[in-house]
Structure 1
């Protein structure tokens, strides 16, 4: 007899976890701007959590694989995330905020990869149900960007750290509500052939280079798009709704992704994602003042994140054996974090000196470069 999946317990964790992402991605740079930091300092502060994404998943993933105590790591990471972030109430100097960003991100990025393993262990052979659970993460993101956008239309941004801390307490509560589970292959023998040998297979390194370039191209978007739109006269409430529109498009794309991967090759899906990303950044850099163009650009989030991420996960699954999936996913997270950090840094330095249009043009070139690499280095292969 099959064991019932703790659907709502698992879903609640994804809900609160991505509520926190919805609170940081659109509004963190806005808060630093409220504190009076320059665009260069904002870019550096936003880059720090992304750099932690390069380190934390590998370290905590190794510890989870060795100990098997994944749920304990999730609970410890959730608690330390809140405790580290609470330091933001003690000071607002650049050095102190950099330390707070590094500390809370180090533990925050430890949480999700371990929880993904727990979720899939609960599902067992019912992996098709994963999307119904993960969907609540997108719902949490949407609720947060819309809710905080409306809140900051009439309330001061001084309330922003309190809102994030409340979300972190929700993550802690959800982590203690979830029962533990271990993957079936936890004690399986390692397969023949090392990780590096699989990494040297044709097209694999090229794929990871493209991951880095794609996330680099997102730098201006995740760091400055809220400030950019506010400068163009959009209200914070509307900006929150525009962020939510992108995530809704992403969710709808996920629903049809199995059909797309059945009809088109991974190379075609990835190349289309990169090309549409190049278009999106040009539109945001030059024509975001036109609401119709802006709405279309936000709908392209379905490609720049949705189809890209889904195809990338498929590629990693196909490229590495079962016991090396964790290393493949960790490398994916690390290079995505590296690219995101580089994107935040360059956009911070170029935003004030070159302006939004050129900053987004550089992002567009990075995405276009990824499209060229994937079309020339990755062989045609159906998912």
Structure 2
């Protein structure tokens, strides 16, 4: 199967699962009787264990040829791990399963991104266009689950995740042509610590952590906050879907309108978007404000992520792309979000929407930081 079609199907299946998990998992946990503080602790612990999973799994990938076999194994293990949530809802069991599932399943994100960036190098894959298939699948899932929660209850969150994981496992075994391979003349893959010691990589990771980490309150508590404000599960699903529609439009416009821009200006735009979006969500739960804030997802997440892809594919040597992708996922998308999500969990009952103002403050320093090209 050609690289574009394979990656489009893979991103579609992965982000279908993510579209059921990310907006609604807190509602599933609430539905089995957990308090907001316990939910925040669990979500934070899950994000923290992603740090270990991303580093340990991605750190063992010795070259591009190993990306596909490891991805297939992770798909199978993810399906088996989520089956455990049907076995019981005791708090200790949920803690164990949260750690296991978050060690395995989220690592598929950096693996998929690593496959995509490798295809950018090998066949000049249009990353923005192929990635929008994942965004569209996210919309389908979040809309579908929102309707199911409204009419059938929160149990259908887990049912939808399981269906998506089964599809993901099947699709991952389709043949990929060309297979991921090292570039002719490419040096041996750099180690994680060696890569992290590069000042340019560390600066990139700090900027990405500020911007992506500031999404912690949104990922963990927007559904609970909006539900408390009187919105139904279906409306919450539509709001999340709207954000991803804006994301799709941005990904679709990437090659035509943004391809000439390097990482630096894109990060600045992402930072400005974060300040505006989190301020809006902190100030009001009026529907018009929420709609505007969700449209800004195209900036806060999408433009910031495109900036990261620019840095990975244009400003790093090929042998450093896989370890830097692992560090990006572990630190910016994992550990930073984990710490902030746990913090938001402890503050939510008292602060309510005020946690979004905290996220705006967290993103603020990114305005003055600029990524640098690799020095080593």
TM-score by length of 2: 0.89
* Pair 306,66 (structure 1): closer, same or farther in 2 beyond 3 Å: closer
Report if aligned partners of 2:41, 2:342 keep a CA contact under 8 Å in 1: yes
TM-fit CA distance, 1:52 = 2.8
* 1:315 equivalenced with 2:314 (yes/no): no
- Partner SS, residue 183 of structure 1: coil
Larger of the two Rg values belongs to structure = 1
Partner of 1:245: 242
* 1:271 equivalenced with 2:268 (yes/no): yes
Partner of 1:59: 56
Which of the numbers 211, 226, 231 marks the counterpart of 2:228?
231
TM-fit CA distance, 1:51 = 1.8
- Partner SS, residue 64 of structure 1: coil
Partner of 1:80: 77
Partner of 2:25: 28
Report if aligned partners of 2:13, 2:164 keep a CA contact under 8 Å in 1: yes
**Distance in 2 (alpha carbons) for counterparts of 1:206 and 1:142:** 33
After alignment, is 70-79 or 301-310 more displaced?
70-79
- Partner SS, residue 256 of structure 1: helix
Partner of 1:301: 297
Partner of 1:71: 68
**Distance in 1 (alpha carbons) for counterparts of 2:6 and 2:181:** 21
Partner of 1:333: 329
TM-fit CA distance, 1:25 = 0.8
TM-fit CA distance, 1:200 = 5.6
Report if aligned partners of 2:63, 2:182 keep a CA contact under 8 Å in 1: no
* Pair 379,12 (structure 1): closer, same or farther in 2 beyond 3 Å: closer
Which of the numbers 180, 202, 205 marks the counterpart of 1:183?
180
TM-fit CA distance, 1:325 = 1.0
TM-fit CA distance, 1:320 = 2.4
Alpha carbon RMSD of aligned pairs, Å? 2.8
TM-fit CA distance, 1:329 = 1.2
Aligned residues: 373
**Distance in 1 (alpha carbons) for counterparts of 2:90 and 2:19:** 24
After alignment, is 220-229 or 129-138 more displaced?
129-138
* Pair 298,199 (structure 1): closer, same or farther in 2 beyond 3 Å: same
TM-score by length of 1: 0.88
For structure 1, the 5+ residue unaligned runs are none
**Distance in 1 (alpha carbons) for counterparts of 2:177 and 2:55:** 21
Report if aligned partners of 2:195, 2:323 keep a CA contact under 8 Å in 1: no
TM-fit CA distance, 1:252 = 1.0
For structure 2, the 5+ residue unaligned runs are none
Partner of 1:149: 146
TM-fit CA distance, 1:74 = 1.8
Which of the numbers 36, 39, 42 marks the counterpart of 1:39?
36
Report if aligned partners of 1:55, 1:334 keep a CA contact under 8 Å in 2: yes
Report if aligned partners of 2:12, 2:133 keep a CA contact under 8 Å in 1: yes
